[in-house]
């Protein structure tokens, strides 16, 4: 399982590529709909280096995606967001060997596309699940929520087919909101079972889908593009909150989780500077490590079939018994109960247990 917290910039920061808005404007023009809420120069839409804030983007979507718009707009928009729109990340994905590697690289470097989401990838019984959290803000109108979800999943499927040259399909699609009036469009487009009112947005694929070769695969090019993306990502990480910088560091260093001194060095900070940043954020290093381990452990237990010993190793524990004791302290539950009893309340397990309270 891989989990990445992507670029958590302020909603007011100009970090989102203008390309997203330019493509959206093209789509609206096709349907003879106006772009509402954008008051800057239209010439700026032609500048590939220009950026806007997520707040402005959401505002434009909210004003432009009223009930007047076609129900298929999200699917159309997703099909238009091709590899060219993804820049260097797109070139990296085009050089991967198969779709499994495409997803792994995508969820690692998605921060460079400047959308604030959290993406998990897990595998169990030859099934692979890619789930998405924080795709949109809960207060946004349902039309915008639907548009963003339809856009992301239709983009994934369209680009997977383009990369492989084959009409591959997801095995199942999970949607976190109730079935809309145009629910049949989801089933026609994805050509698989679509489950609405799910716990989270996710797609599920089988091994055949994941192992489908990419026709533009190129290992030397991939190495170059991966190195470039990694350099840019590390330069951006200084803009994340200190908590998220540490989360990213812990994910990168698994299973050899660094202590506070090592983390400070890797973050190019003195120990005292890291301590002050953590204090100002009303937390401490051990609490973040425990939080990281707890969330990762629950994901491993619920979304994979690896043993407790392997989970303990991945999270930096010396053995399974130490992991079980720590998990009981964090959540009040036994890890095997979490794996076997799917009626347990996940929201309670993933929130701070009383023993951890400040």
Q: What is the pLDDT of residues 273-288, one digit of tens each?
A: 999 989 988 899 999 9
| pLDDT number for residue 60 | 93
In the predicted model, what is the mean pLDDT of residues 217-224? Answer: 96
Residue owning tokens 């009893």: 341
Distance CA 329, CA 352 (A): 10
Report the Cα 302 to chain-centroid distance in Å: 18
Report the Cα 121 to chain-centroid distance in Å: 9
CB 70 within 8 A of CB 64: no
pLDDT at 233 over 60: yes
CB 156 within 8 A of CB 203: yes
Structure pTM? 0.71
Take residue 344 and report the two structure tokens written for it: 């347990």
Query: Burial code of 167-185, b = ≥16 C-beta within 10 A, e = fewer?
Result: ebbbbbbbbbeeebeeeeb
Q: What is the DSSP string of 241-265?
A: -HHHHHHHHHHHHTTS---HHHHHH
DSSP reduced 3-state for 126: coil
Q: State the virtual CA torsion across 53, 56, 60, 63 in degrees, nearest 10.
A: 150
Listed range (156-170, 290-304, 333-347) with the worst mean pLDDT: 333-347
Q: How far, in Å, are 77, 93, 154 from residue 72 at the CA level?
A: 9, 27, 11
pLDDT at 293 over 80: yes
Distance CA 348, CA 297 (A): 14
Map out the domains of the chain with their CATH numbers: 70-210 (no CATH), 241-358 (1.10.10.60)
| pLDDT number for residue 91 | 94
DSSP reduced 3-state for 304: coil
| pLDDT number for residue 3 | 39
| pLDDT number for residue 338 | 85
Listed range (63-67, 221-225, 350-354) with the worst mean pLDDT: 350-354
Q: Average pLDDT of the chain?
A: 85
């Amino acid at each position: 399982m891989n989990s990445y917290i992507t670029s958590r910039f302020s909603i007011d920061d100009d970090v989102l590529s203008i390309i997203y808005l330019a493509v959206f404007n093209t789509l609206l023009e096709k349907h003879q709909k106006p772009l509402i809420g954008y008051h800057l120069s239209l010439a700026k839409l032609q500048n590939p280096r220009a950026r806007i804030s997520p707040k402005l983007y959401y505002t434009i979507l909210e004003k432009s995606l009223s009930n007047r718009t076609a129900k298929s707009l999200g699917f159309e928009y997703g099909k238009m967001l091709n590899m060219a729109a993804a820049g260097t990340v797109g070139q990296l994905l085009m050089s991967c060997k198969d779709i499994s590697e495409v997803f792994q690289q995508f969820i690692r470097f998605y921060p460079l596309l400047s959308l604030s989401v959290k993406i998990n990838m897990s595998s169990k019984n030859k099934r692979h699940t890619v789930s998405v959290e924080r795709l949109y803000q809960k207060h946004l109108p349902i039309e915008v929520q639907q548009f963003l979800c339809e856009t992301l999943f239709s983009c994934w499927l369209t680009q997977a087919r383009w990369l492989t040259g084959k009409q591959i399909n997801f095995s199942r699609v999970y949607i976190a909101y109730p079935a809309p009036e145009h629910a049949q469009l989801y089933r026609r487009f994805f050509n698989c079972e679509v489950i609405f009112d799910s716990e989270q947005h996710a797609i599920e694929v089988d091994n055949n889908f994941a192992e489908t070769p990419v026709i533009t695969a190129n290992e030397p090019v991939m190495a170059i593009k991966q190195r470039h993306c990694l350099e840019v990502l590390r330069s951006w990480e200084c803009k994340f909150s200190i908590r998220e910088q540490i989360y990213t560091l812990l994910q990168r260093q698994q299973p050899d989780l660094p202590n506070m001194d090592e983390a400070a060095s890797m973050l190019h900070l003195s120990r005292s500077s890291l301590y002050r940043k953590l204090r100002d954020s009303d937390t401490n290093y051990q609490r973040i490590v425990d939080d990281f381990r707890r969330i990762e452990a629950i994901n491993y237990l619920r979304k994979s079939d690896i043993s407790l010993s392997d989970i303990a190793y991945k999270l930096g524990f010396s053995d399974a018994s130490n992991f079980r004791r720590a998990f009981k302290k964090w959540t009040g539950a036994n890890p095997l109960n979490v794996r076997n009893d799917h009626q347990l309340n996940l929201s309670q397990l993933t929130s701070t247990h009383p023993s951890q309270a400040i």
